[in-house]
Amino acid sequence: MNSKKTNNDKSPSFEGIKGGLIVEVKNLVKKFPVGAGFFTALNDINLEFSEGEFTGLVGPSGSGKTTLLNIIGSLDVPTSGEVVVIGKSIGNLSPKQAAKLRKEELGFIFQNYNLLPVYTVFENVEFPLLLLNLSAGERKKRVMETLEWLGLTDKVNSRPAQLSGGECQRVAIARAMVKRPVLVLADEPTANLDSANSHNILKMMLQLNEELKTSFIFATHDEKVIAYLKRIIRLQDGKVVEDKTIQATPNP
């Protein structure tokens, strides 16, 4: 990865973001209907995330990590409380406004990669750019640059079935990064990877965080991911039980 190459283009726009805050979570409660009653998955969460985060939501299975990540990603709405993402209050957004926020500002990485099987690597990475108003030439430049960062230029015409798990996840990272989002949300991104590939993609994400200032929020219980984090937020039974900043530079 070459930082000189990446600095000229669109860097994340922080217009409308007060004091570098990209996410504010205020008195967030999320209840799911279960039978005749409700299950409280998130119980009065208060958090702030600033630009440049490399933060993990950690905690046991069922503690609410994915639920919180989905609400921050405007894929779900709070039952009560407020979540402000890049200056926009999630609970007040129409489906169309939520889709606009996701396509313009957010990148998503999932455990199962979620690549489109009939498309090539190039087409998978180009896909989010088709939703933006860019020329074919600009799209190609961005896709190829992103594939180069992630060491995938020799796989540009391959399809997902021809790739290893680690390569698929690198394509998924490229797809999340290609539009230079302000914030990337990654739910258990290493769950299907072996140790070497996990370290490989974590190093790449950390480098993207440091060179492009893209913020990352992970949901994870993988110790390999935890070793790279700059901030650890521990959830238990839908509550924040610990929020600690790691002082030393991550160096697992």
Ligand X SMILES: Nc1ncnc2c1ncn2[C@@H]1O[C@H](COP(=O)(O)OP(=O)(O)OP(=O)(O)O)[C@@H](O)[C@H]1O
Interface ranges with ligand X (CB under 6 A): 32, 34, 39, 41, 59, 61-67, 219, 221
| Alpha-carbon distances of 239 from 57, 77, 209, rounded to whole Å | 11, 17, 27
| Helical (H) or strand (E) element with 242 | strand 239-245
Q: Does 66 bind Mg ion (CB under 5 A)?
A: yes
| Alpha-carbon distances of 218 from 49, 68, 86, rounded to whole Å | 12, 11, 17
Residue 31 C-beta: closest distance to ligand X, Å: 9
User: In the complex with ligand X, which residue's Cβ is closer, 31 or 88?
Assistant: 31
**Residue with the CB atom nearest Mg ion in the bound state:** 66
Partner in contact with 101, chosen from Mg ion, ligand X, none, beta carbon below 5 to 8 Å by kind: none
Q: Does 197 bind Mg ion (CB under 5 A)?
A: no
Alpha helices, H only, 188-245? 195-212, 223-226
Partner in contact with 41, chosen from Mg ion, ligand X, none, beta carbon below 5 to 8 Å by kind: ligand X
Partner in contact with 199, chosen from ligand X, Mg ion, none, beta carbon below 5 to 8 Å by kind: none
Partner in contact with 247, chosen from Mg ion, ligand X, none, beta carbon below 5 to 8 Å by kind: none
Contact mark string toward Mg ion, 26..65, x via CB under 5 A: ---------------------------------------x
